[in-house]
């Protein structure tokens, strides 16, 4: 099976004044369909940058990123937007729900952007997903009326409503307590199993890593190794 | 973008705007004010424009004016700072008229000429003499003691007037340069003040009267000259074409007669006894302007002026009529002990409580004894104009009446032009008339002159050879006899035949012509047609709209429009900056939201539309409310009317009240402006928002 994501020689440098700061160095990575993979590493190790590159949110300095067979570095801005809309779901550390929209509308938004119609069809899909993340009763409420865990569940519903092949989650549990964090991870895992959606999430929390099939360890912008969750706490094998 | 997406955007806009209520309110109130101002301002402006349009079009100008292209000046029917324009006569006017009338939208063509001149305001001395002569005449027929008493009283008045005139002339002579002439004038008047002159008056009253009328009264005439603007026109055609014209005093000039009609407004304003006029104005100000003497400085000043000018009335009263007025005032003011001067002072010292009563007493007791107007209807009026070639010309015409235009009674503009027949106008302008042509022809016959062409002139002058005269002397042409009309004009003004024929009228020179249209809305098109016609048939016409013809006045609306638009422009510039700023702020506050939207797949257009829709919602709601409020305000103003509290306002309102109403153009303008402002103000922030990257959604916490 072809990998859903294929990264080659990925390098990203940021310029801070006259100083060039390397964020990623020559990263090689394949994500297989249906994988549930964590990327771990200390702050500043390049986790978010890697997710941004894969999510077509930022452009690499060198190297290539292929998403579902499409070479993203060669795509125009508009095509990247459409790629994100149709193939990728995003879950953010701070939930990033639109405050002025209801829970229902937040989840419906990607369907509207995809011009899914009619309204009844959208309603069916949104409500179905909201029920599955256990938040159906809150559909009419605004995000600020919900707890953090509830909000992140809304965000998960939003990421999955279009049926993307890949969901990228940047520290999805960082703003949650351990109980809610675990609940979110369980939810993600369930959806991974049921839908076969590839999940790729960053974390620096060992308990979170424990849920992953495998953990990529990142240090100073380079992938150190790929280990089983149980081994994530061990020093890297040189 | 689908309907659902648009609805979502609108909903987001509402919610975002509601979330930032205070800011929305501030921004919205500016848009509100702008839209209100546009609707209110343009409605008022258009109403004033309509009023002026009516005043000018329906009273004088017609919709279009034509005049000779060969003219030196531009036609300005109300004149300008430098007086009235110098226009050449329209060549072959009857033909021009016929051709113009052949155009489908032309209803009427009224030939005219516009000028201004000094008129002798008729003088009270003349009037007093006329009354004295009447008394003398009736004394001849049936002498009674009453008549003799009347003669004595009227003699006393004339004598007092002569004394006052002498004083005036002495004062004038001290600053005059023409000592010789002044001396003669003064000597003439002086004689009429001497006891010797009056002691033997009864011996030969007609000789004395003649002396007074010819040697004394003309000097007084010079003392009180008034400038009157008039239109010389085919009076019949004018009356038919400007059908709002109505006669207020006297009669219309009979067809084929020379004659003069005062514009009622001018007649009241300039020719009425000032005290009476001021009382009229106080009455009007109280009744239609809602003003009060107690609080209005202008009305107070009128009263002060009246009190200091009672001699204007006293001067007109001979002892007999003075006694009559005195008795009547003693009775009506319930002041049996007071003398006339004190009674007048009391009568004129009006206040808000007694005004109506005093006004009535003035008209009942005083007015019948005096000449209320300096020129009475039926009098002959001496008009002294400067002809086109620069010499003064006088014409005496009968005043048949006064007129006004229905609906424009109070318009100073419509009431500024009196009417005179075209033949007299020609005479005043120095154009050849039938009479003067006959006179010239007679002189030519008498002198044996004949018409000579330019080419033949030399031969005619010097003999067939056309060479230098054999003697070598320059042939002397007999000193040219210039026909100079009477220098002063006045005293010897020619009294022309009082009637003229249609042929005279057709031959009369026409300086400009008013064209009245069947459908005024097609004015621009008809103007083009007339120009084309003039070019095609070489009519030599210049064609202008009434606005242009009204000169500065016509430009006034344009000026107000500019002022209004500048004001609107400033408001909207402010709105533009504030709005733009507000939306930039809103964009910056929502960078994370926008980034998120971009990350989950919203295109730049979506983000752009999001900001634009938000601005549009502000524009539509607040701009719409502003336009509706402006419209409502205009309706209210239209219902009650804005009172004209000064002459200037009368002038622009073309009446006592301006009743504005909302026009579609105002609403369309407001809508367009609000939309443009919104588009402009939202444009930059929307562009800015569209450039927010999805990475910015990852946001602050990292």
Q: What is the DSSP string of chain A?
A: ---SEEEEEEEEEEEETTEEEEEEEEEEEEE-TT-EEEEE--TTSSHHHHHHHHTTSS--SEEEEEETTEEGGGS-HHHHHHHHHHHEEEE-TT----TTS-HHHHHHHHHHHTT---HHHHHHHHHHHHHHTT-GGGTTS-GGGS-HHHHHHHHHHHHHTT--SEEEEESTTTTS-HHHHHHHHHHHHHHHHHH--EEEEEE--HHHHTTSSEEEEEETTEEEEEE-GGGTTSPPP-
Q: What is the pLDDT of residues A34-51, one digit of tens each?
A: 999 999 988 888 898 999
B258: which 2 tokens?
């020379």
Output the average pLDDT for chain A: 90
Overall average pLDDT of the B509-523 stretch? 89
Shortest CA gap A207–chain B (Å): 21
Within 10 Å of residue A1's Cβ, how many Cβ atoms?
Answer: 6
Q: Residue B456: pLDDT above 70? A: no
Neighbour-count burial of B446, counting CB atoms closer than 10 A to its CB (0-12 exposed, 13-18 middle, 19+ buried)? exposed
Q: What is the pTM of this model?
A: 0.64
Percentage of chain B beyond pLDDT 90 is 18
Q: What is the pLDDT of residues B237-247, one digit of tens each?
A: 888 888 888 99
Between B452 and B380, residue with greater pLDDT: B380
pLDDT at site B119: 78
A70 touches B at CB < 8 Å: no
Residue of A nearest to B695 (CA): A57
Cβ distance of A113 and B600 shorter than 8 Å:
yes
Kindly give the pairing relationship between strand B642-643 and strand B380-386: unpaired
Are the CB atoms for B635 and B396 separated by under 8 Å? no
Cβ distance of A81 and B602 shorter than 8 Å:
yes
Cβ distance of A58 and B695 shorter than 8 Å:
yes
Q: What is the pLDDT of residues A147-194, one digit of tens each?
A: 999 999 999 999 999 999 999 999 998 888 888 889 889 989 998 999
What domains lie within chain A, and their CATH numbers? Answer: 5-229 (3.40.50.300)
Kindly give the pairing relationship between strand A36-40 and strand A214-219: parallel
In chain B, where the domains are located: 3-56+554-697, 61-105+502-549, 124-222, 289-372
B605 touches A at CB < 8 Å: no
* Contact residues, chain A, for B600 at CB < 8 Å: 84-85, 89-90, 109-110, 113, 158-159
A163 touches B at CB < 8 Å: no
Q: What is the pLDDT of residues B531-563, one digit of tens each?
A: 999 999 888 889 998 888 887 777 777 888 888
pLDDT at site B464: 54
A49: which 2 tokens?
């940058």
Q: What is the three-state SS of B466-487?
A: CCCCCCCCCCCCCCCCCCCCCC
Give the least confident one: A95-109, B210-224, B283-297: B210-224
CA–CA gap between residue A141 and residue A127 (Å, rounded): 13
B4 touches A at CB < 8 Å: yes
* Contact residues, chain A, for B701 at CB < 8 Å: 93-94
Residues 172-231 of chain B whose Cβ lies under 8 A from any Cβ of chain A: none
* A144 — pLDDT class (breaks 50, 70, 90): very high
Between B686 and B442, residue with greater pLDDT: B686
pLDDT at site B302: 92
Overall average pLDDT of the B513-536 stretch? 91
Phi and psi, residue B249, nearest 5°: -135, 145
Q: What is the pLDDT of residues B656-670, one digit of tens each?
A: 778 888 888 888 888
pLDDT at site B288: 76
Residue of B nearest to A172 (CA): B698
pLDDT at site B646: 66
* Contact residues, chain B, for A114 at CB < 8 Å: 601
Overall average pLDDT of the B63-88 stretch? 82
pLDDT at site A147: 93
* B278 — pLDDT class (breaks 50, 70, 90): very high
Disruptive mutation site among B596, B602, B691, B697 for chain A (greatest number of A CBs within 10 Å):
B596
Cβ distance of A92 and B698 shorter than 8 Å:
yes
Cβ distance of B601 and A105 shorter than 8 Å:
no
Are the CB atoms for B100 and B292 separated by under 8 Å? no
pLDDT at site B338: 87
Q: B475-507 in b/e burial notation, b at 16+ Cβ within 10 A?
A: eeeeeeeeeeeeeebbeebeebeeebeeebbeb
Nearest by CB to residue A57, choosing from B4, B695, B701, is: B695
Q: Residue B498: pLDDT above 80? A: no
- The dihedral through the CA atoms of A177, A178, A183, A188 has a sign that is positive
Overall average pLDDT of the B52-64 stretch? 81
Between B329 and B428, residue with greater pLDDT: B329
* Contact residues, chain B, for A117 at CB < 8 Å: 2, 4
Cβ distance of A82 and B601 shorter than 8 Å:
yes
**In angstroms, how far is CA B559 from the centroid of its own chain?**
18
Q: Residue B472: pLDDT above 80? A: no
Q: Residue B200: pLDDT above 90? A: no
Cβ distance of A48 and B19 shorter than 8 Å:
no
A27: which 2 tokens?
């990263």
Q: What is the pLDDT of residues B617-670, one digit of tens each?
A: 888 899 899 999 999 999 898 888 887 776 667 667 766 778 888 888 888 888
pLDDT at site A238: 52
Give the least confident one: B204-208, B313-317, B397-401: B313-317
Nearest by CB to residue A113, choosing from B592, B606, B697, is: B606
Disruptive mutation site among A48, A113, A148, A157 for chain B (greatest number of B CBs within 10 Å):
A113
Cβ distance of A90 and B599 shorter than 8 Å:
yes
Percentage of chain A beyond pLDDT 90 is 61
Give the least confident one: A74-88, B84-98, B421-435, B594-608: B421-435
* Contact residues, chain A, for B589 at CB < 8 Å: none
Find where tokens 């949104």 sit.
A126
Q: Based on C-alpha coordinates, what's the Rg of chain A? A: 18
Are the CB atoms for B195 and B162 separated by under 8 Å? no
Overall average pLDDT of the B514-539 stretch? 90
Overall average pLDDT of the B101-117 stretch? 88
B494: which 2 tokens?
């020619």
Output the average pLDDT for chain B: 82
A105 touches B at CB < 8 Å: yes
* B494 — pLDDT class (breaks 50, 70, 90): very low
pLDDT at site B414: 75
pLDDT at site A195: 87
A111: which 2 tokens?
């369907």
pLDDT at site B457: 67
Q: What is the pLDDT of residues A122-137, one digit of tens each?
A: 999 999 999 988 899 9
Cβ distance of B603 and A112 shorter than 8 Å:
no
pLDDT at site B490: 38
pLDDT at site B699: 57
Question: Could you give the count of Cα atoms lying within 13 Å of B466 in the half-sphere of its Cβ?
Answer: 5
Q: Residue B173: pLDDT above 80? A: no
Distances (CA, A) of B240 to B100, B110, B413, B420: 17, 9, 20, 15
Give the least confident one: B388-402, B534-548, B681-695: B388-402
Strand A19-31's sheet: what is its strand order? Answer: A19-31, A5-16, A62-67, A70-71
Nearest by CB to residue B593, choosing from A58, A93, A98, is: A98
A78 touches B at CB < 8 Å: yes
Q: Based on C-alpha coordinates, what's the Rg of chain B? A: 36
Kindly give the pairing relationship between strand B64-68 and strand B541-545: antiparallel
Nearest by CB to residue B601, choosing from A100, A113, A170, is: A113
B691 touches A at CB < 8 Å: no
Query: Under 8 Å CB-to-CB from B285, ≥6 apart: which residues?
Result: B291, B296, B298, B299
């Amino acid at each position: 099976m072809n990998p859903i994501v294929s990264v080659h020689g990925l390098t990203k440098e940021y310029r801070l004044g006259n100083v060039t700061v390397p964020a990623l160095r020559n990263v090689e990575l394949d994500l297989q369909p249906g994988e549930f993979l964590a990327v771990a590493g200390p702050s500043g190790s390049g986790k978010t940058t890697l997710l941004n590159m894969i999510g077509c949110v930022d452009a690499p300095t060198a190297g290539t990123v292929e998403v579902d067979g499409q070479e993203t570095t060669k795509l125009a801005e508009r095509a990247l937007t459409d790629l994100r809309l149709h193939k990728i779901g995003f879950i953010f550390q701070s939930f990033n729900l639109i405050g002025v929209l209801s829970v229902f509308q937040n989840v419906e938004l990607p369907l509207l952007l995809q011009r899914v119609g009619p309204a009844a069809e959208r309603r069916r899909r949104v409500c179905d997903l909201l029920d599955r993340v256990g938040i159906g009763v809150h559909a009419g409420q605004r995000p600020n009326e919900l707890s953090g865990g509830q909000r992140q569940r809304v965000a998960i519903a939003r990421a999955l409503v279009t049926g993307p092949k890949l969901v990228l989650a940047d520290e999805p549990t960082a703003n949650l307590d351990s109980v809610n964090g675990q609940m979110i991870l369980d939810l993600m895992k369930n959806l991974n199993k049921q839908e076969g959606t590839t999940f790729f999430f960053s974390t620096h929390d060992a308990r979170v890593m424990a849920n992953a099939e495998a953990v990529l360890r990142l240090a100073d912008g380079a992938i150190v190794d790929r280990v089983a969750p149980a081994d994530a706490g061990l020093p890297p094998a040189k | 973008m689908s309907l659902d997406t648009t609805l979502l955007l609108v909903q987001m806009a509402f919610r975002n705007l509601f979330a930032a209520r205070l800011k929305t309110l501030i921004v919205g109130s500016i848009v509100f004010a702008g839209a209100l101002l546009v609707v209110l301002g343009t409605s008022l402006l258009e109403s004033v424009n309509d009023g002026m349009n009516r005043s000018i079009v329906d009273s004088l100008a017609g919709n279009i004016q034509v005049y000779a292209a060969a003219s030196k000046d531009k036609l300005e029917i109300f004149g300008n700072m430098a007086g009235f324009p110098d226009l050449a006569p329209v060549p072959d006017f009857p033909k021009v008229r016929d051709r113009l009338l052949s155009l489908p939208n032309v209803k009427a063509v009224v030939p005219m000429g516009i000028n201004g001149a000094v008129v002798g305001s008729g003088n009270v001395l003349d009037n007093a003499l006329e009354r004295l002569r009447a008394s003398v005449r009736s004394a001849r027929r049936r002498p009674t003691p009453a008549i003799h008493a009347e003669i004595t009283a009227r003699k006393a008045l004339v004598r007092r007037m002569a004394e006052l005139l002498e004083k005036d002339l002495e004062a004038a002579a001290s600053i005059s340069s023409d000592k010789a002439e002044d001396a003669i004038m003064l000597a003439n008047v002086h004689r009429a003040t001497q006891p010797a002159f009056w002691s033997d008056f009864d011996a030969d009253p007609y000789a004395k009267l003649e002396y007074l009328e010819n040697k004394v009264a003309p000097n007084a005439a010079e003392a009180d000259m008034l400038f009157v603007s008039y239109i010389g026109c085919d009076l019949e055609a004018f009356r038919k074409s400007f059908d709002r014209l109505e006669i207020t005093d006297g009669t219309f000039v009979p067809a084929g007669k020379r004659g003069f009609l005062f514009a009622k407004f001018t007649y009241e304003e300039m020719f009425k006894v000032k005290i009476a006029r001021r009382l009229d104005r106080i009455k009007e100000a109280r009744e239609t302007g809602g003003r009060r003497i107690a609080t209005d400085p202008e009305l107070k000043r009128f009263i002060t002026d009246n009190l200091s000018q009672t001699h204007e009335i006293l001067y007109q009263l001979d002892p007999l009529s003075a006694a009559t007025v005195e008795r009547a005032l003693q009775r009506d003011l319930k002041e049996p002990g007071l003398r006339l001067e004190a009674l007048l002072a009391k009568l004129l010292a009006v206040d808000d409580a007694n005004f109506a009563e005093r006004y009535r007493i003035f008209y009942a007791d005083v007015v019948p004894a005096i000449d209320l107007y300096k020129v009475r209807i039926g009098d002959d009026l001496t008009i002294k104009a400067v002809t086109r070639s620069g010499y003064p010309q006088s014409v005496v015409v009968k005043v048949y009446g006064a007129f006004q235009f229905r609906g424009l009674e109070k318009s100073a503009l419509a009431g500024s032009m009196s009417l005179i027949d075209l033949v007299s106008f020609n005479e005043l302008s120095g154009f050849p008339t039938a009479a003067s042509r006959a006179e010239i022809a007679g002189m030519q016959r008498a002198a044996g002159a004949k018409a000579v062409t330019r080419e033949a002139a030399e031969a005619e002058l010097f003999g067939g050879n056309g060479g230098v005269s054999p003697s070598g002397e320059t042939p002397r042409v007999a000193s040219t006899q210039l026909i100079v009309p009477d220098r002063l004009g006045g005293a010897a003004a020619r009294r022309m035949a009082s009637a003229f024929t249609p042929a005279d009228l057709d031959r009369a020179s026409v300086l400009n012509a008013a064209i009245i249209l069947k459908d005024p809305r097609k004015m621009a098109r008809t103007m083009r047609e007339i120009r084309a016609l003039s070019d095609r048939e070489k009519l030599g016409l210049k064609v202008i709209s009434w606005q242009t013809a009204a000169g500065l006045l016509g430009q006034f609306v344009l000026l107000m429009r500019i002022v209004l638009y500048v004001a609107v422009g400033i408001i909207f510039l402010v709105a533009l900056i504030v709005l733009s700023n507000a939306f930039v702020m809103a964009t910056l506050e929502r960078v994370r939201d926008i980034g998120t939207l971009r990350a989950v797949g919203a295109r730049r257009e979506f983000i752009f539309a999001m900001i634009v829709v938000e601005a549009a919602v502000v524009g539509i709601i607040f701009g719409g409310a502003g336009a509706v409020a402006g419209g409502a305000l205009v309706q209210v103003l239209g219902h009650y009317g804005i009172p004209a509290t000064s002459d200037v306002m009368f002038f622009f309102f073309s009446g006592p009240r301006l009743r504005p109403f909302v026009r579609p153009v105002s609403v369309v303008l407001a809508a367009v402006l609000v939309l443009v402002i919104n588009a402009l103000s939202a444009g930059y922030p929307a562009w800015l928002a569209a450039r927010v990257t999805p990475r910015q959604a990852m946001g602050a916490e990292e």
